[in-house]
Structure 1
Amino acid sequence: MTATAALPADATVYLVGGAVRDALLDRAPGDRDWVVVGTDAQAMRAAGFKTVGADFPVFLHPATGEEYALARTERKSGRGYTGFVVHADRTVTLEDDLRRRDFTINAIAQADDGTLVDPLGGRADLEARVLRHCSPAFAEDPLRVLRAARFMARFAPLGFRVHEDTLALMRGMVEAGELAHLVPERVWQELKRALGEARPSAFLQTLRACGALAVVLPEVDALYGVPQRAEYHPEVDTGVHVEMVVDMAARLAPGDAAIGFAALTHDLGKALTPAEVLPRHPMHEHAGLKPLAALCARLKVPNAEAQLATDACREHLNVHRFDELRDATVHELIERCGGLRQGSRIDALALVCEADKRGRLGHAESDYPQGRALRACRDAALALQAKDVMREGLAGPAIGEALKKARIAAIGAARRSLSGGTAPPATPAG
């Protein structure tokens, strides 16, 4: 069945948006979006299309399940990104629909025969690597500020930049307080998607350039300009370090937003360091837990992502100095992070810590043996279960204590094996 097989006879359909854009960029396309011109909702339903929702005239194709939207216009009726009146009928043209979109590169349509309809110059902006707004109506939707930053996280590796006029509009929206009307869930969704892109640092840089980072992620914005010790952090600026860490996380765990979020928030405590002790940051890993909890509560971050971020914030220095920890301390760390119940949590923590260590100027290709050691100790501990320590006379809490001792011994053996038989220093660190 072709894309138009089930459409009303008076309708014309076009492929629009990301699928057209990505094809022109020679990128693998994602979901296909279709816009339908010259018909109405009643005719779509009569042709077998199923209505998706009441807010927008969007329908599901009866055979493919793909979304088909009637060409529409939008008129601002209130504050925020939900304050719009939608108009869709047979009189709305394809060009009308394209003009109400966010960026010119997303406002290109393709007919069945492959002909492009590009009234706003989106193809030229693709070639020039420019992210440009379609019309002044861009300023009516505050979510588009976050979308611009997210698109930069995706397309900055291709050389894209935000057009000066678009950046000016975004600044004006921030200054007008429009971003205050965004609901937390939408902010989190845009942040999550940006952290899954190839260059999350471009998301932060774009938001910071228009003043939005201080509004939506003030805990992160506060890190810029905070100095670190140059012998450990040649990049010095903590905000720059965090940019490097999120990019390294994207490299080590492509598309994993949970790893990215933990990388983004692991150093929040450095913004709270008293000025008189800078550029040192004693106990920043503990100081960061309070602002991290506030950020997670405000954005309603899901539990799994919030827990990994908390573990990484609290433990990243312990993992970095892994060789200094006692065997019992290693066991406590793994247990504290839930690694004895769900071993994959240790894999995620190790990746975040590796991104932190390699997200420094001149250290991108550094080895990180601590991550391998942490995983090996987790494996050694999990290889032992209660049945392995059962013996006559053991019952109740004694079984748990015996299992703990056996696991600590197994951790010690694993560490000696990794170090070629030499036991690590028995220091109280940790």
Structure 2
Amino acid sequence: MQVYLVGGAVRDALLGRDVKERDYVVVGATPEQLINQGYQQVGKDFPVFLHPQSKEEYALARTERKQGQGYTGFICDFTPDITLEQDLIRRDLTVNAIAQAQDGSLVDPFSGQQDLESRVLRHVSDAFSEDPLRILRVARFAARYHYLGFTIAPETKALLIDMVKAKELNTLTAERVWLECEKSLSDGAFCEFLNVLDSIGGLHVISPELESKWCDELYHTLQARFAYANKLQVSDTALLFSQVTLALSSDEIKAIASNIRLPNEVRDLALFSQTHQTTLSAEKPSSEAVFACFNQLDLWRRPERYEQVLKVLEISQQQPVARYDSLVNAATQARAVNPQQFIAQGIKGAEIKTALEQARLEIIKGYFS
């Protein structure tokens, strides 16, 4: 039995990046052998095991044979006679098909190290086209390593375009598409991810409306926004995704939410930010418009929602909104108004709400005409 470190851990170590997780491939073993050594099996059809101490993933070397459509239609063979090279050839990119033996030596049958040095993302074999999920994975890798100068090999880009034209993206579930988006947002490279998808004709998998609006100007606008967010070390998925949707209408945002099943908090912040950006970014907003904004955001019970919208708009402008201090102070003082003070004055029933709203509006008028 031989154990090799594989995939992203080897790739990122060679690039000098921090290694966040390690995956291993085991050659010449059976499931029973690993179970007897204390490994915990986490899948019957997919031979992955957790190490008894480190809990890192160890997968038996395997081959895959396509059967059916989509990215799940594969039959695995993980008998002990599967070689390391047979396992590596089923991987997506040459830079992900490098293995490291326990003595530190590298096994690189597909010249992944050379492609790392040349900053090229190249598919390993024709089997690449059997898995439509790889379209999004390559876009994500190209985005993540864009700052290092990585590009997609011409033959790989041509293959991606052909896969998109063959409507392979249509076989992916909405949840899987969002997961790849979420990973790219976490990488801090979502703008590049979208641009790569547009370059291969695949941006419609996220939003046909966004695809129709995509242009160099929007791309550079989003580049500046994400650079500012990275500078502030903003990592909140909803805050980052809202940078993209500010250019869309509410109906278009709702269409994206339906199309790729956005989590509720991501969808809601995108909608709130789009709806209230004009009022909250104005040099001279009216007190009535600000009060309506506070009510619609339910500032009184959900102040964090208001704070998030202000942060979305700050990132979009690369500076706090024009009347930031006034907006914050007005919100703080208006929230501090207590209905008990009106009850103590003998005000009853529906008149309490009227008095409360009037008091809050008067405070806001002190800041905005």
Relative to the length of structure 1, the TM-score reads 0.80
Distance 1:205 1:385, change over 3 A: same
- 307-316 or 26-35, which deviates more: 26-35
Distance 1:387 1:151, change over 3 A: farther
Partner residue of 1:260? 240
The answer as to whether partners of 2:198 and 2:214 remain within 8 angstroms in 1 is no
**Residue 293 in structure 1 maps to residue 293 in structure 2:** no
Partner residue of 2:76? 86
CA distance in 2: counterparts of 1:50 and 1:80, whole angstroms = 28
Pairing of 1:306-325 with structure 2 (within 5 A): 306-321=267-282, 323-325=283-285
Pairing of 1:277-288 with structure 2 (within 5 A): 288=249
Distance 1:392 1:373, change over 3 A: closer
Equivalent of residue 391 in structure 1, options 333, 344, 361: 344
Classify the secondary structure of the residue corresponding to 2:213.
coil
The one-letter code matched in structure 2 to 1:25 is L
CA distance in 1: counterparts of 2:150 and 2:36, whole angstroms = 44
Partner residue of 2:103? 113
Cα-to-partner distance string for 1:149-195 (whole Å, 9 max, x where unaligned): 11122111121111111111100101111111011000111112212
For residue 372 of structure 1, report the CA deviation from its aligned partner.
4.6
Cα-to-partner distance string for 1:69-101 (whole Å, 9 max, x where unaligned): 111111111221111111112111222212111
Equivalent of residue 21 in structure 2, options 25, 31, 54: 31
Partner residue of 2:356? 403
CA RMSD in angstroms comes to: 2.2
The one-letter code matched in structure 1 to 2:242 is A
What residue ranges of structure 1 are gaps of 5+ in the alignment?
Answer: 1-10, 226-234, 269-287, 359-365, 416-423
The answer as to whether partners of 2:121 and 2:153 remain within 8 angstroms in 1 is yes
For residue 15 of structure 1, report the CA deviation from its aligned partner.
1.5
Partner residue of 1:97? 87
CA distance in 1: counterparts of 2:270 and 2:188, whole angstroms = 20
Equivalent of residue 60 in structure 1, options 36, 43, 50: 50
Percent of paired sites with the same residue: 40
Classify the secondary structure of the residue corresponding to 2:234.
coil
**Residue 329 in structure 1 maps to residue 309 in structure 2:** no
Partner residue of 2:221? 241
The one-letter code matched in structure 2 to 1:317 is T
The one-letter code matched in structure 1 to 2:251 is K
What residue ranges of structure 2 are gaps of 5+ in the alignment?
Answer: none
Relative to the length of structure 2, the TM-score reads 0.92
Classify the secondary structure of the residue corresponding to 1:134.
coil
Equivalent of residue 204 in structure 2, options 200, 203, 214: 214
The answer as to whether partners of 2:269 and 2:308 remain within 8 angstroms in 1 is yes
Partner residue of 1:158? 148
The answer as to whether partners of 2:8 and 2:96 remain within 8 angstroms in 1 is yes
CA distance in 2: counterparts of 1:137 and 1:221, whole angstroms = 28
Equivalent of residue 179 in structure 2, options 189, 201, 216: 189
Residue correspondences, number: 369
The one-letter code matched in structure 1 to 2:356 is L
For residue 128 of structure 1, report the CA deviation from its aligned partner.
1.7
Distance 1:184 1:387, change over 3 A: same
Partner residue of 1:349? 309
The answer as to whether partners of 2:195 and 2:219 remain within 8 angstroms in 1 is no
Pairing of 1:225-236 with structure 2 (within 5 A): none
For residue 324 of structure 1, report the CA deviation from its aligned partner.
2.0
The one-letter code matched in structure 1 to 2:113 is R
The one-letter code matched in structure 1 to 2:237 is A
The answer as to whether partners of 1:346 and 1:374 remain within 8 angstroms in 2 is no
Distance 1:399 1:86, change over 3 A: same
The answer as to whether partners of 1:201 and 1:247 remain within 8 angstroms in 2 is no
CA distance in 1: counterparts of 2:118 and 2:38, whole angstroms = 42
Equivalent of residue 17 in structure 1, options 7, 13, 16: 7
The one-letter code matched in structure 2 to 1:265 is T
Distance 1:56 1:318, change over 3 A: same
Distance 1:112 1:205, change over 3 A: same
Classify the secondary structure of the residue corresponding to 1:196.
helix
CA distance in 1: counterparts of 2:352 and 2:326, whole angstroms = 27
The answer as to whether partners of 1:199 and 1:250 remain within 8 angstroms in 2 is no
**Residue 303 in structure 1 maps to residue 264 in structure 2:** yes
